[in-house]
Structure 1
């Protein structure tokens, strides 16, 4: 988790902003403000804690060191600017040939608690597996036999503004809050960890969830495209978003691409809730893929020239696939935004469906309106995860800090330029960066895990983004899960995800 923020400016607005930044106006007030700035912090003692623990993972007993530590990032003069917290789990024995996997979540602005306390860490928090609410504490925090510690050391990274990570002195968070800025800082943390732990020659894997997959593509590019390479063995993408126009837009902004991308997700969700008949999620998804790319996309491209008889055929099939009434589809011009789908699918039952996981249902203040009050798959889990992260890191692992733990939302603005200042992204797609890294590293493999019921990062959009020219398809592994964005919320899929990723790492 989680894919959270939306772009704060359009390409024209961005160009205007760049023009303003280039203006040479320097005022007395600005000069005075520079003089009044506090002197930079020149010394900072990073916080850390460490425990020796043992557990059984993948059927194998592992003694390991758990360490929570701040990695200090500095400016060119050696002054500390930010402290990024990592939580590492390293097996005892000092095997330098053992793989190490660096993991993070998304947002942007999300800490790593979701993957750490839900999927791959040595402990996990128990939440209902059947897509019902997590209730109130105490929440069980139990041993996690599905952790990957039997096959790889694990390093969970919380970027600046997430978890306990923070800026130092007068450094502003926005210096790290952007696609390029974030990737550079995370890549620097990885390089420092490898140096501090003498692990440069270990097999290395990089993994992220949601915007963390975007970050994975950008960090992989940072690590691999230069003479000072950190060569990777694999990249693990969970709930993937690389090509943003496939999920952003719809409605009055005119982006027609987004509608076909969601048809397969709508179809499997309708079947899950009994709004249509059909086979397995995989069978329903394949039928919907073919129709969305063929007759449906063709009809959308015709716009107002779509003949009445073709309109009627499209409307009837769209209704059958998605479980929505033909009357509603007529009023929506055959174009259903996701927010409307969440509200409309189960309106007759007085329920909405979730965005992160459409198996979840919620009850709104009333049954009118066209979008839900909130996401039931978000408020159905957050209490348990935030509690577990604080309890595990503070009490069990002994990390002492007065800072609040920020699970999501501490990052208030984001620079959506993938190459930083001076760049423009009229079509925001980082998939080509990952494809280039794969082409330049003949042994780099990519694992992609997608939930059928995920509307935040729909599986069809992920497929589309990595099926374009440039990707070596023979080095890609795809797996699908009967859950949503965080497929590990479902017990059976947590175990399957663990098996799948373990097999991916072992097959290096």
Structure 2
């Protein structure tokens, strides 16, 4: 394995000492921090999609600077896996995770990178180390080159000097930065003629829509896309709001509750798919109608709704009555298996946890997150600091403690406005007849419920014949389950090939 690091970095390090020694006191105060980007490339091979592939792995920093005075603002770290020998017309896929504030560790070390961390596939805690780092035959490198992007403040990426976080931490500001990194990568690698795909998970799907708007919605330097991959989708934020008086969340959460109740033996049905479809129809029809009637709902109809709601959720009619037919996800996590002294997960409701006691109405923590986080953190640090040769004393921010005070405004609307980025995708699809969307959703995901994704993408302005849905028997990060990681890889591979 060969390692290459920018010669400029070495020269800069050698020159640093004498230069500082010659500074005058007044000069030091005027100096601005300058970062020499670190770029390292290593050579590897592996078997992906049944094909033996030689590939280069390049982890490097892209410096974003002020367009007016050239002041460095942020160092964005990307990890690119490119098939060798290089082909300028080969597809390239840009991927990122969500949060906002999440690094790409989850998609890179769990789903699509050439290596993946081995954690239990059956919704058990990953336990204590070591966490094996295995070859990943489900990586997409047989059909596309892959560039993982850690947005500002996530992963190893960071703001430089006294950069104001407001310049990057927001729906639009973040999207502009990621779009700039993508354009720079295309320039630097001669890939403007390549078919291009964009993908994200969780808030990464929100980011995808906003980045699409930056890439295709501008009148200059337009970047056409072949497809957008949405994994665990959140586009319309009103759908997931638990604010009192918002009934939509109860409707869109119900099919996920039904799947979860069936998984844990609190409901009965021939199959998950059939039960989920029954829950969809009940949620859209009788349940939505009852909720909209509010206190005008008559006792007879209320009793019918309560009985059906109990069948789908596995919760007692007495509990549903006390909750006024409206069960928030937090309450559901705690109540479903209260008789067993267990809670269910938010990111993946197949996981169970045991709280300090069983008396509360919401869980102490999410067992589907603490059940996997240690393994992923160990994997990204082992891989990037070891075989990829990245040298830094910064901590990798899996879930960043720096990304705070996110600016949720888009289109000039204030922070309390209705946030929905779906129209960005609709506009891009209407103006680019070749752009398609793949939606990948887990049945057991309450962070981004599958029915909420269906709702958002079925609105006016979205060409339905270019949106395809795929479902998995796991949760938010469906790839933690071995069977679903292979299925997800197969589905996306087919999506890319069908361009």
Establish whether TM, by shorter chain, passes 0.5.
yes
Q: Work out whether residues 125 and 142 of structure 1, in 8 Å CA contact, stay in contact via their aligned partners in 2.
A: yes
Q: Work out whether residues 272 and 359 of structure 1, in 8 Å CA contact, stay in contact via their aligned partners in 2.
A: yes
How many Å separate the matches in 2 of 1:466 and 1:201? 29
Match of 1:396, SS state, is coil
Aligned ranges for residues 70-219 of structure 1 at < 5 Å? 70-76=61-67, 77-219=69-211
Match of 1:208, SS state, is strand
Aligned ranges for residues 465-476 of structure 1 at < 5 Å? 465-476=456-467
Q: Work out whether residues 146 and 495 of structure 1, in 8 Å CA contact, stay in contact via their aligned partners in 2.
A: yes
How many Å separate the matches in 2 of 1:425 and 1:242? 16
Moved more, 453-462 or 163-172: 163-172
Match of 2:386, SS state, is helix
How many Å separate the matches in 1 of 2:142 and 2:31? 44
Alignment correspondent of 1:267: 258
How many Å separate the matches in 2 of 1:90 and 1:40? 38
Aligned ranges for residues 94-493 of structure 1 at < 5 Å? 94-227=86-219, 228-250=221-243, 253-410=244-401, 411-419=403-411, 426-493=417-484
Q: Work out whether residues 247 and 291 of structure 2, in 8 Å CA contact, stay in contact via their aligned partners in 1.
A: yes
Match of 1:186, SS state, is helix
CA RMSD of aligned residues (A): 1.3
Q: Work out whether residues 454 and 485 of structure 1, in 8 Å CA contact, stay in contact via their aligned partners in 2.
A: yes
- How far is 1:68 from its partner? 0.6
Give CA-to-partner distance per residue, 1:120-168, whole Å, 9 cap, x none: 0000001100000000111010000000000000000001111110011
Q: Summarize the Cα distance change of 1:337–1:101 in structure 2 as closer, same or farther, 3 Å threshold.
A: same
1:50 to 29, 41, 46: 41
How many Å separate the matches in 1 of 2:287 and 2:35? 59
How many Å separate the matches in 1 of 2:395 and 2:233? 29
How many Å separate the matches in 2 of 1:474 and 1:302? 34
Q: Work out whether residues 407 and 415 of structure 2, in 8 Å CA contact, stay in contact via their aligned partners in 1.
A: no
- How far is 1:426 from its partner? 2.0
How many Å separate the matches in 2 of 1:50 and 1:212? 26
How many Å separate the matches in 2 of 1:458 and 1:39? 52
Match of 1:89, SS state, is strand
* Structure 1 unaligned regions, length at least 5: 1-36
Moved more, 134-143 or 275-284: 275-284
Q: Work out whether residues 160 and 173 of structure 1, in 8 Å CA contact, stay in contact via their aligned partners in 2.
A: no
TM-score (norm 2): 0.92
Q: Summarize the Cα distance change of 1:38–1:264 in structure 2 as closer, same or farther, 3 Å threshold.
A: farther
Q: Work out whether residues 208 and 228 of structure 2, in 8 Å CA contact, stay in contact via their aligned partners in 1.
A: yes
Q: Summarize the Cα distance change of 1:315–1:422 in structure 2 as closer, same or farther, 3 Å threshold.
A: closer
Give CA-to-partner distance per residue, 1:168-187, whole Å, 9 cap, x none: 11112232110000000000
Give CA-to-partner distance per residue, 1:102-123, whole Å, 9 cap, x none: 0000000000000000000000
Alignment correspondent of 1:33: none
- How far is 1:395 from its partner? 1.1
- How far is 1:409 from its partner? 3.0
How many Å separate the matches in 1 of 2:481 and 2:301? 41
Give CA-to-partner distance per residue, 1:288-347, whole Å, 9 cap, x none: 011011111111111111111111111111001100000100110000000000000000
2:492 to 501, 504, 507: 501
- How far is 1:42 from its partner? 6.3
How many Å separate the matches in 2 of 1:239 and 1:135? 25
- How far is 1:412 from its partner? 1.8
How many Å separate the matches in 2 of 1:105 and 1:452? 19
- How far is 1:383 from its partner? 0.2
The reply to whether residue 63 of structure 1 matches residue 54 of structure 2 is yes
- How far is 1:94 from its partner? 2.0
Alignment correspondent of 2:8: none
- How far is 1:281 from its partner? 1.5
Q: Work out whether residues 33 and 161 of structure 2, in 8 Å CA contact, stay in contact via their aligned partners in 1.
A: no
- How far is 1:427 from its partner? 1.4
Q: Summarize the Cα distance change of 1:174–1:345 in structure 2 as closer, same or farther, 3 Å threshold.
A: same
Match of 1:41, SS state, is coil
